[in-house]
């Protein structure tokens, strides 16, 4: 069943008019209280890269592993930052390989036996970018080239993805919230939003303690879109 688009007959948007779907999307992607905003941590980027390697463009699944991040945000971040970095990484890796090829014929024969995916895209094999995740960086690609630091320490590849995420990022990320099963109840955070932004805003009620642990502490920038600092 094809959804009726939020357009008038001329095909133009109806100004500021919003259909239910538009409102829903805006809530889910932008207004939802437990959305984490601001720069991505290295852990979040690592998770994104690994999951994308495993799952492809299943952004909602990836988003489920990154609490506070929406699929849309992750998708945007991937297209605007991570994809470029991986491409850059690959180009650096290719350069290194070409250098190595010119120096060692033996090593080149080993490389040939690999499929491209084994050493190009796979973030588990490629060097880890240590650059801080400043998504607002206005530097040019050329500047990024000069600013990126490559860590050639190999990542243990045999660990399962789930174990890797749990050990490397998620457990550490939510350790301060231990005792609240945020991880298995991701949408409870929505319900935790029981303080009034305005008199017009009605939200479900829940234990106020939940707010401090999940909503308020998730990110310092959480309330800034509402003018609450």
Helix, strand, coil % over all residues of the chain, rounded to 5: 50, 5, 45
Q: What are phi and psi of 59, to 5 degrees?
A: -65, -35
Sign of the CA dihedral with 160 first, then 51, 83, and 217 last: negative
The only residue of 65, 90, 110, 141 in contact with DNA, by rule CB under 7 A: 141
Q: Give which of 21, 19, 131, 152 is closest to 84, Cα–Cα.
A: 131
Residue 146 engages DNA in binding (rule: CB under 7 A): no
Interface segment toward DNA; rule CB under 7 A; list 58-66, 161-169, 193-201, 208-216: 58-66
Identify whether the C-beta of residue 119 lies closer than 8 Å to the C-beta of residue 126.
Answer: yes
The only residue of 53, 76, 101, 194 in contact with DNA, by rule CB under 7 A: 76
**Structure token digits, residue 88:** 């850059």
Q: C-alpha angle 43/162/155, rounded to 5°?
A: 55
Quote the least distance from Cβ 12 to DNA, whole Å.
8
Residue 7 engages DNA in binding (rule: CB under 7 A): yes
Residue 65 engages DNA in binding (rule: CB under 7 A): no
Residue 45 engages DNA in binding (rule: CB under 7 A): no
Residue 28 engages DNA in binding (rule: CB under 7 A): yes
Identify whether the C-beta of residue 86 lies closer than 8 Å to the C-beta of residue 123.
Answer: yes
Rg (CA), the chain: 22
Residue 10 engages DNA in binding (rule: CB under 7 A): no
Sign of the CA dihedral with 47 first, then 178, 216, and 22 last: positive
The only residue of 103, 113, 140, 184 in contact with DNA, by rule CB under 7 A: 140
Residue 9 engages DNA in binding (rule: CB under 7 A): no
Interface segment toward DNA; rule CB under 7 A; list 103-111, 133-141, 157-165, 209-217: 133-141
Binding residues for DNA, total number by CB under 7 A = 39
The only residue of 44, 45, 65, 71 in contact with DNA, by rule CB under 7 A: 71
Residue 103 engages DNA in binding (rule: CB under 7 A): no
Q: DSSP E strands: which ranges in the chain?
A: 128-129, 150-151
Residue 109 engages DNA in binding (rule: CB under 7 A): no
**Structure token digits, residue 147:** 């600013």
**Site residues, DNA (CB under 7 A):** 1-3, 5-7, 13, 18, 20-22, 24-26, 28-30, 37, 57-61, 71-73, 75-77, 79-81, 135-141
């Amino acid at each position: 069943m094809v959804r009726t688009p939020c357009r008038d007959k001329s095909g133009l948007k109806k100004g500021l008019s919003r259909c239910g779907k538009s409102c829903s999307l805006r809530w889910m992607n932008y207004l939802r209280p437990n959305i984490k905003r601001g720069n991505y941590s290295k852990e979040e980027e690592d998770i994104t890269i690994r999951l994308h390697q495993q799952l492809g463009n299943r952004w909602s699944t990836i988003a489920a592993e990154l609490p506070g991040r929406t699929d849309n945000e992750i998708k945007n971040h991937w297209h605007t930052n991570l994809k470029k970095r991986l491409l850059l990484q690959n180009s650096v890796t290719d350069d290194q390989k070409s250098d190595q090829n010119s120096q060692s014929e033996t090593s080149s024969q080993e490389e040939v036996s690999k499929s491209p995916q084994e050493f190009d895209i796979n973030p588990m094999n490629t060097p880890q970018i240590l650059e801080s995740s400043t998504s607002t960086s206005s530097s040019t690609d050329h500047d990024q080239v000069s600013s990126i630091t490559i860590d050639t320490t190999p990542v243990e590849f045999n660990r399962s993805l789930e174990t890797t995420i749990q050990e490397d990022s998620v457990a550490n990320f939510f350790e301060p919230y231990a005792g609240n099963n945020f991880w298995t109840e991701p949408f409870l955070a929505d319900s935790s939003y029981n303080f009034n932004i305005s008199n017009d805003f009605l939200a479900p009620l829940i234990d106020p303690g939940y707010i401090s642990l999940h909503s308020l502490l998730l990110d310092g920038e959480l309330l800034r879109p509402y003018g609450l600092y």
